[in-house]
Amino acid sequence: MASLALPGSFLDVSKTRRGRYATADSITRCNVAEPLKFNKENGRPCIPPLQVNGATSFTSLLNANQLRRFSVPHNPNDTRLRIFSGTANPALSQEIACNMGLELGKIMIKRFADGEIYVQLQESVRGCDVYLVQPTCPPANENLMELLIMIDACRRASAKNITAVIPYFGYARADRKTQGRESIAAKLVANLITEAGADRVLACDLHSGQSMGYFDIPVDHVHGQPVILDYLASKTICSDDLVVVSPDVGGVARARAFAKKLSDAPLAIVDKRRHGHNVAEVMNLIGDVRGKVAVMVDDMIDTAGTIAKGAALLHQEGAREVYACTTHAVFSPPAIERLSSGLFQEVIITNTIPVAEQNYFPQLTILSVANLLGETIWRVHDDCAGGFEPYSSLGID
């Protein structure tokens, strides 16, 4: 049985979990745009993925000297770069700063008795390149307002450049009018961020590529899928047994790009008819999954209605195992009940949105995007435009 491996990575010729060895010629490869390089000078380690189900993560099985390094030299003593965290995902912000060899900036964020948000920077940012890490995850309105006030505080403190780092961009689903008299909230939120004083936005896996066009400032769009691809490379899945599944017609481009990286795996599509918001009805399956390991790919899981009904259909059609892979875990009720019902062999997500401990379940695996975002911040700060290829060339945008 061949295992999946990234070209140029430490998994090229490695021992599988079951103790077998595969030669370089027999390994099925995940064709990420550019091999990830090692750099002995910079010495910045990759934080290994977090396994919630108690299993040891595959990177922790490797020698510490084999951990991934990046090839761009950075200066950790650069005092012009400052990173501040909002209250939406402080753990991710701390991990990003740790990966970059920096400390988070000191900021005071509090709420008055009536719910108003107060923000004060506790250090000078005059002439600095400031990065504000704040996903607009639930509660979306609270976190969005907090981000806007943080941007305003930095602008009034004479920051040279302000970048809003938004691992999860809320309201992105309202990106067009599907029926009359609807708002396009994604454009409204983009205008709010721009008018608050942000000079650029760094976002991860926007719901649709057109959302970048709603901003009148530069947008750096990075994809979390290479992190998931790297993890899948450690799984002992025979390439002949693999099929990538899009849970709806709208995600075909994303699933096709994902399948291409998995040695051009076959593609299947779930035909879904939606009768209302957060209500989905599966109608048909396009493609063959009988006896296959199905990997369902989406950008987010909200109530898990779409992906759970899709998984049920895949099992009806004879799929041997079903994996769910998504970047953003919104996990609105009753998502946890649906995902932990036994339909999925594993649910693979990233930490763009924090997952409460009470929402952990045995099949859940959380991978970290801190290394990806930290390296992107360095490259933006250093004006290193060519550095985004390993992360942004999945062919989705």
pTM, full prediction: 0.78
Please report the pLDDT score of residue 282 as a whole number: 58
According to the model, what pLDDT value does residue 196 have?
98
* Tokens describing residue 185: 């909230």
- Alpha-carbon gap, residue 397 to 207, rounded angstroms: 11
Architecture field, domain 223-352: 3-Layer(aba) Sandwich (3.40)
Helix or strand run (H / E) with residue 361: none
Q: How many residues does the chain have?
A: 397
Instruction: Classify burial at 41, counting beta carbons within 10 Å of its beta carbon; exposed 0-12, middle 13-18, buried 19 or more.
Output: exposed
Per-residue pLDDT of the chain (397 residues; tens, 9 = 90+): 444 444 444 333 333 333 333 334 433 444 444 433 333 443 333 444 444 444 433 333 333 333 344 444 456 556 799 999 999 999 999 999 999 999 999 999 999 999 999 999 999 999 999 999 999 999 999 999 999 999 999 999 999 999 999 999 999 898 888 889 999 999 999 999 999 999 999 999 998 877 888 899 999 999 998 999 999 888 878 888 899 999 988 889 999 999 998 888 999 999 877 666 666 675 789 999 999 999 999 999 999 998 999 999 999 999 999 999 999 999 999 999 999 999 999 999 999 999 999 999 999 999 999 999 999 999 999 887 544 444 444 444 4
Q: Where do the CATH 3.40.50.2020 domains begin and end in the chain?
A: 79-221+371-383, 223-352
Instruction: Please name the amino acid found at residue 29.
Output: R
The class of domain 79-221+371-383 in CATH terms is alpha beta
Query: Per the structure block, which two tokens stand in for 393?
Result: 């060339």
* Closest to 367 in 3D by CA, of 240, 259, 228, 232: 228
CA distance 392 to 205: 10
> How much is the pLDDT for 385?
54
Burial of 192 (0-12, 13-18, 19+ CB in 10 A): middle
DSSP per-residue codes, 269-318: EEEEEEEETTEEEEEEEES--TT-EEEEEEEEESSSHHHHHHHHHHHHTT
pLDDT of the residue at 74: 58
Selection from 104, 175, 179 nearest residue 134 by Cα: 104
CA distances 155 to 38, 82, 122, 161, 176, Å, are 37, 14, 14, 8, 31
In this prediction, residue 368 carries a pLDDT of: 97
